[in-house]
Structure 1
Amino acid sequence: MSRLVCPACHRPLALCLCALVPRLDSRTRVLILQHPSEVRHALNTARLAALGLLNAELRVGEVFEDLPALLNQPGYRACLLFPGEGALPLPQFADQAAGQQTLLVVPDGTWRKARKLLHCNPLLAALPRVSLEPGLQSRYRLRKAPQAGALSTIEAIVSALETLEAPAQFAALLKPFEALIEGQIAAMGEQTYQRNHLNPADR
């Protein structure tokens, strides 16, 4: 017998996070392109981000046929949140886009899946790339970051918005994310968490 699932946050009804999800407005429009492999992941932070932001949209797929329309939003200049060679720091991009709001395109998936989204959608690969400030630390205690400064999707979006729209704060978006992590830790048991996810120095 399958468990009843919340249609909004996709969590089991007994673990629904919707009461913690804010409804935050932003000048920046956020377009999250999620690889299908992430949809049923227990730690689907992209959905939480899309639920909590009024000016955000979540699309799922590998090839996005309507990408030209999604990217060509009047009054917005699109950029791809993806680190690497040639990526501009977000403040520098914002300065260059003076007079226009930012359309922040965020691929959601493992690094390999995110690169596949770029490969399958040449328009994405052609966008100017932007990066977050270096040295950020993830609160994602259930995954080992593949590289220094790697954040979950929702953390990356919060950091980007707080950079683009300072002094506005978007930390409320992380409340359901943190509750999600605490719930996963409780489900696995504290001993299992400490054994498998903590560094020896932190135990």
Structure 2
Amino acid sequence: MPRPRCERCTRPLDHCLCPLIPHLPSRTRVVLLQHPSETSHALNTARLAALGLTNAELRVGEVFENLEALLQTPGYRPVLLFPGEHAQALCASPSADELPLLLIVPDGTWRKARKMLYLNPVLEALPKVTLANVPPSRYRLRKAPEPGAVSTLEAVVHALNVLEAPARFDALLKPFEALIEGQISAMGCETFERNHGDI
């Protein structure tokens, strides 16, 4: 019989993360486009980001309908958070008069994220932004595939910390860190050190 789960954070009720999830406002609107394969992932950090930000939403799929309408949301400038040759490093907004960003964040493996862009040409056409000086990932259970690789939640936190400085969004990481600690505890310190001690 499956364990009862929290309908909000989707964790088992005895490991509900809702008390740790903040309720943070932001000028930037964050839209997370999640590949369906990520929804069952143990961490599902995109969901945690959407739950912790008042100005965010999570959409699940490979082909997204009504993207044109989304990208024309009044009062925002749409950009895609995705590295690439022509991506501009994010920097703090120079003026309060400038429109805040509508930050589109793909959530999936690099291969699946690239496929989402291919299947949704309107995304591929957006101005691309990327993160500079990214701190090491706190995801201690997985070796980063390349330097600067972080989870979706960490990318959102870093982006918002840059865009909305001096405001900080590190509180979004609390449920993420609790999940990791829970997984390490479940596997035992010895197993963790043997399998992940060099990360």
- Is the shorter-chain TM-score for this pair beyond 0.5, marking a shared fold? yes
Q: 1:18 to 1:135 in 2, by over 3 A?
A: closer
Q: Match for 2:2: what amino acid?
A: S
Report runs of 4+ in structure 1 exceeding 3 Å deviation.
94-98
Distance 1:113 1:15 in 2: 29
Unaligned runs of 5+ in 1: none
Distance 2:73 2:2 in 1: 40
Question: Match of 1:191?
Answer: 190
- Name the TM-score, length of structure 2 as normaliser: 0.96
- Name the TM-score, length of structure 1 as normaliser: 0.94
RMSD value, Cα? 1.6
Q: 1:25 to 1:180 in 2, by over 3 A?
A: same
Q: Match for 1:48: what amino acid?
A: L
Question: Match of 1:35?
Answer: 35
User: C-alpha deviations, 1:134-165, integer Å up to 9, x for none?
Assistant: 34211110111111001101110000001000
User: C-alpha deviations, 1:182-203, integer Å up to 9, x for none?
Assistant: 001111111111111111xx8x
User: C-alpha deviations, 1:66-125, integer Å up to 9, x for none?
Assistant: 111121110100101111110001118x45996211000000011111111111100111
Q: 1:35 to 1:139 in 2, by over 3 A?
A: same
Question: Match of 1:57?
Answer: 57
Unaligned runs of 5+ in 2: none
Distance 2:156 2:56 in 1: 11
Paired residues, what number?
199
Q: 1:167 to 1:96 in 2, by over 3 A?
A: closer
Higher helix share: 1
